[in-house]
Structure 1
C-alpha cells in the first residue's frame, strides 16, 4: 500500500505531474489558434465555447502546429531543461545544445508534441475533475446536491444509492492520479530516446572533450616549462653565487648579477603561475590560447638563465603570429631548462631566425660527456619540444653534431 501511494503521490510522481501541467500550459497558445480555426466551422457562439466539437477540433489543430514549431533547433534545449529537472531521468542521458540534423530535429519535435499533447489532457483533467469528484463525494451529505442535476444524472436522488457517490468521487481522484503517474512514467521512458544524443551529438561531445583535454594539456605543459625552467635557472645562479662566496672571491658584481637574475626569474614565473592557475580556477581551459610570453620576452628569459647563455635573434619577431610566438618562446625555455640540467653550466648559444616561410630555433652547448635524457610522460624535456613542434606542423631534432649538443627546431609560419 505504501509503495502504491509513493508511485501515485511520491515526490517523483508529483514532479512528473508538474511537468505534464507545464506541457498543458505550453499547449495553450496552440489551442487558442485551434479554436479560431474550428470555431467558425462548427458555428460556435464564441471563442471559449464549451462545445465538445470545438475543444476536440482545437486540440487536433494545435498538435501539428506544436510539432512544426518544435523543429527549430532551440526547442530541444528548453525541453531538455524541463525534462532534466522534472522527469527523474539521469542528466547524462540527454543531449546538450540545439538539435542539429534532420533526425535530431524530428526526435525533438516528437518529444515536444507528445509532451504538450499529453500535458494538455492531464492539465485539463487536473483542472476539471477534482471539483467534480469532490461534488460527487459530497452528495451523501448534501440534500441540495442530491436534488440537483448532478444527483439526478447519477441516479443518486434515490436514498438507496446515495452512499455510492462517496467511493465514486474518491475513485475519480485516484484515477486522475494514476493517469498522471502513467503519463509521467511514459514520458520519462521516452525522454532518453527522443531527447538523447544522436551520433552527431556524440561526435561533437567527443570533439569538445578532446579540445578541453588538449587545452588542459597545454596548460600543464606551460606550467611545467615555466616552473621547471625557473627552478633550473635559479638553482644554477644560486650555485654559482655560492661557489664565488665560498671561494672568498671579491667578485661581488657577479654575485649581484646572479641575485638579480634570480629575482627577475622568480617574479616572471610567479606571474605566469598566477595566470595559469587563474585559468584553471575559472574553469577556462580555452584560455590557454590567451596572452602569454612570446619572442619579445626572450631577452628577459635568457638574462634570467645566466651570463653563460648568448642569444642571437634575426628577422622580425614582432611579425610572427601570437600563437606561434608563444610556442617558440616555450621551446626556447624548455631547451634552456634541458641545457641547464645536463650541460653543467657550460656556455649555451641560442639562435632564433625569423624567415619568410618559417621560424628556426637552434641551441648549442658543449657535450658534457653524457647526452641529455628524456623522462617518461609527454611534455618533459626534449620530448616536450618535439611535441610542440609537431603540433605546429614543424620538426625538431637533437643530438651531437661537431662536438656540441644541438637542438634544432623548424616551425612553418
Structure 2
C-alpha cells in the first residue's frame, strides 16, 4: 500500500500529471494537423482519432526537449518529485549533442506517460465511484446503461464495488510503475554527460588550485611574521635592561610586521568569504622592506630591474624569499643571511644562504610545509627549487622562468 499510495508515489503521480499538462499544447497542435487531414471531425470524437493525435504531438515535444535550457528545468522537477538522488543528475543546460538528445528523450517519455496517466486519472475515478455506489442505488443502471448489459443482473451489481476498487488499484499501480520507470531512467537520460563530468573535474581542479594558493599565502605570510616576531621578542627580552634603544626598535619592528600581516590575512579571508577583489600579494619591489623588518642581518645583492619581472613570477619569488627567511630564523638563529637575486636569460635566480648555528631548530607541532610550498611554487611556474645543508651553510636556490607567468 505504501508503494501505491505513499508519499513518494503521490509525488510521482503529481510529476506525471505535470507531464500530462505539458502535453496539452502539443496535443492541440496535433489536433489541428489531424483535423486538417480529416476535416469535419474532432480529435476527441473517438479513441482512435485521439490516439493518432497523441502520436502526432510527441515529435513536437521531442523538438522542444532539444533546447539546452530544458534540462535544468526537467532536473528540478525530477529531483523534487521523483525521489531521484540529486547527485545522479546533471546541473546546467545541455551543451553537447548527446546531452540534448538524452534530454529530449526524457521529456518525450515524461509527457507521453503523463498524458496517458492524466487521461486515466480523469476518466477512471468517476467511473469507479459509480461502480462502488451502484448496489446502493440500483436505479442508476437504468439511467446510464441498457438493461441488457452486464450490470443488469444481480451478480453484476454485487460485483460492481469490487470492480471499482480493482480499477482504482490498477490506476495506482500504473502510476507507481510509470513513476518508478521515470526515476530509474532519470540518471541515464538526465545524468551528466562526459563533457559535463570533464567540466566539473576542471572546476574542482580550479577550486583546489585556489585553495592551495590561499593555503600557501597564509603559511608563508603568517609563518614568516610569527618567526620574525618570535626572534625580535626573544632578543628584546635578553637585552631589556641593558639596551632600551634596541628594545624600542624591536617593538617597532614587531608592530610593523604584525600590522602588515593582519592586512594580508584580511585579504586572504576576504577571498575565502567570496568577496570581490584580488589577493593583494607583495612582489619583489617590496623585498627591501621585508628584509628590513625581518630582524636578521641580510647581505642583499640585486642584478636587474625587479619591476620588469612579470607580476605572477614576482609575487611567487617574494613568497619564496619570505619562506627562506622564516627558515633562517628557525634554523639559523640570528646568523647573517646572504641573498642574491639575479635576472638573466629570461630567468629569475634566487640564492639564499645562512650559516648553520648547530643549535636545535625551532620545531612546530606537526612539522612545516614551507619547503614543499617553495617547490610547488617553482614547479607551477615551470622552474625548480632546492633547499638543504651544503657544508656548514644552509642553501636555498630557485630558478623561475619569466615565461612561467603565461
Q: TM-score range by the shorter chain?
A: 0.7 to 0.9
Question: TM-score scaled by structure 1?
Answer: 0.84
Of the three residues 384, 387, 403, the one matched with 2:376 is 387
Alpha-carbon deviation of 1:121? 0.9
Partner of 1:196: 191
Q: Is the 8 A contact 2:267 2:279 kept in 1?
A: no
Q: Is the 8 A contact 1:375 1:381 kept in 2?
A: no
* Other-structure match for 1:134: 129
Q: Give the drift of 1:322.
A: 3.9
| Residue 164 of structure 1: aligned partner | 159
User: Which of 76, 80, 88 matches 1:93?
Assistant: 88
Select 1:290's aligned residue among 240, 256, 278: 278
Name the CA distance, whole Å, in 1 between partners of 2:191 and 2:230.
Answer: 55
Aligned to 2:329: 340
Quick check: 1:34 aligned with 2:30?
yes
State the shift of 1:355 in Å. 6.2
- Displacement of 1:56 in angstroms is 1.8
Give the equivalent residue in structure 2 for 1:258. Answer: 250
Provide the C-alpha distance between the structure 2 equivalents of 1:335 and 1:206, rounded to a whole number of angstroms. 34
**Cα distance in structure 2, aligned partners of 1:378 and 1:192:** 45
**TM alignment of 1:316-395, pairs within 5 A:** 316-318=305-307, 320-353=309-342, 357-369=346-358, 380-395=369-384
Asked if 1:271 corresponds to 2:260, the answer is no
Aligned partner of residue 148 in structure 1, secondary structure: helix
Distance 1:324 1:120, change over 3 A: farther
Q: Does 1:25 align with 2:14?
A: no
Gaps (5+ residues) in structure 1?
Answer: none
C-alpha separation between the residues in 1 aligned to 2:366 and 2:383? 21
Partners of 2:229 and 2:94 in 1: CA distance: 54
In the TM superposition, residue 403 of structure 1 has moved relative to its aligned partner by 6.8
Task: After superposing the two structures, state which structure 1 stretch, 58-67 or 132-141, moved more.
Answer: 132-141
CA distance in 2, matches of 1:37, 1:225: 72
Change (3 A) 1:71 1:371: farther
1:249 aligns with 2:242: yes
Judging changes above 3 Å, is the alpha-carbon distance between structure 1 residues 71 and 313 closer, same or farther for their aligned structure 2 residues? farther
Aligned partner of 2:400 in structure 1 is 411
Alpha-carbon spacing, 1:37–1:321, altered in 2? closer, same or farther (3 Å): farther
1:369-395 Cα shifts (integer Å, max 9, x gaps): 589999999982323212210111112
The range that moved more, 18-27 or 37-46, is: 37-46
Q: 1:68 aligns with which of 58, 63, 75?
A: 63
Given that 2:296 and 2:334 are in contact with CA atoms closer than 8 Å, whether structure 1 keeps it comes out as no
Look up the SS of the partner of 1:15 in the other structure.
helix
CA 1:138–1:40 in structure 2 vs 1: closer, same or farther (change >3 Å)? farther
Deviates most, 143-152 or 78-87: 143-152
Cα distance in structure 2, aligned partners of 1:110 and 1:411: 53
Deviation, 1:229, is 0.8
Residue deviations 1:239-276 (CA, integer Å, cap 9, x gap): 1111221xx323x3322221122112222223333443
Aligned-residue offset at 1:354: 5.5
Please give the secondary structure, in 2, of the residue aligned with 1:292.
coil
Structure 2: stretches of 5+ with no match in the other structure: none
| C-alpha contact (below 8 Å) 1:140/1:146 kept by paired residues | no
Q: Is the 8 A contact 1:374 1:382 kept in 2?
A: no
Report the alpha carbon displacement of residue 224 of structure 1 after superposing the two structures with TM.
Answer: 1.6
Give the RMSD, CA atoms, in angstroms.
Answer: 3.3
1:43 equivalenced with 2:36 (yes/no): no
Answer yes or no: is the 8 Å Cα contact 1:343–1:366 preserved in 2.
yes
Query: Normalized against structure 2, the TM-score is what?
Result: 0.85
CA distance in 2, matches of 1:50, 1:351: 93
Q: Is the 8 A contact 1:139 1:151 kept in 2?
A: no
2:115 alignment partner, SS class: helix
| Contact 2:16/2:118 (<8 A) preserved | yes
> CA–CA distance in 1 between the matches of 2:127 and 2:151?
15
Deviation at 1:181?
0.5
Report how many aligned residue pairs link the two structures: 401
Q: For 1:79 and 1:140, how far apart are their aligned partners in 2?
A: 45
Instruction: Show the counterpart of 1:181.
Output: 176
